[in-house]
Amino acid sequence: MTKNAKTVAVVAIGSVLALVLIFIASDLWLRSQPIVHCSDGPHPAIDIRDFTTRYWAYSVKLEATVVDKGKASTELDPKLLAQVSEALQEANEFRKYVVAGYNSCAISPLQYAQLGERFRTLDSLAREMDSLLSKPSLSADEDKKLAGLVSQYGDLASQPRSR
């Protein structure tokens, strides 16, 4: 390898490292919580990624399970799979509403805490549904239980946005 080729390689590697460091630093800077000044007082803005990690991780896993079940299984009622998918979409829209509402001062910190409880309940229901959906086949009782959980999940996700 010639001296010029080594120089070019070192500069290229250095440039890639610099870009990676800039990306990491910008991501950390963007994640720092800016303060939103609302009529009810200042509160930290919510990063949707943090919110998803805190309240939504299991529902994302459930969504992946439903997609796999829909592709791999004909044992589950297609209507039930469609209801699960619809309920997950409703809950995803609700999540976006909560974050956008809180960051734009439309949702107070108290309402946000109440809605957080709803997300914890949704997460618990998602865990139960995922547990049932991870089984290769369901008994009649388990099928009824899954239908009930899906109904609860959908009802909870589509409740009126404000209390």
Locate the domains of the chain by residue range: 1-32, 34-157
Backbone φ and ψ of 116, nearest 5°: -60, -35
Separation of alpha carbons 82 and 112, rounded Å: 29
Count of CB atoms within 10 A of residue 127's CB? Answer: 14
In eight-state DSSP terms, residue 53 is I
What's the whole-number mean pLDDT along residues 105-130?
A: 86
Query: How big is the CA angle at 43 (ends 39 and 47), to the nearest 5 degrees?
Result: 125
Separation of alpha carbons 30 and 122, rounded Å: 28
The answer on pLDDT for 47 being more than 80 is no
Question: Is 125 exposed, middle or buried, given 0-12, 13-18 or 19+ CB atoms closer than 10 A?
Answer: buried
What's the whole-number mean pLDDT along residues 87-91?
A: 80
Separation of alpha carbons 81 and 69, rounded Å: 8
Instruction: Determine the 3-state secondary structure of 152 from DSSP.
Output: helix
Place of tokens 């099928």: 143
Q: If pLDDT is split at 50, 70 and 90, which confidence band does 13 have?
A: very high
**pLDDT of 74:** 44
More confident site: 50 or 124:
124
**pLDDT of 58:** 55
Rounded to two decimals, the pTM is 0.61
**pLDDT of 163:** 45
Q: If pLDDT is split at 50, 70 and 90, which confidence band does 16 have?
A: very high
Backbone φ and ψ of 137, nearest 5°: -150, 155
Separation of alpha carbons 29 and 134, rounded Å: 39
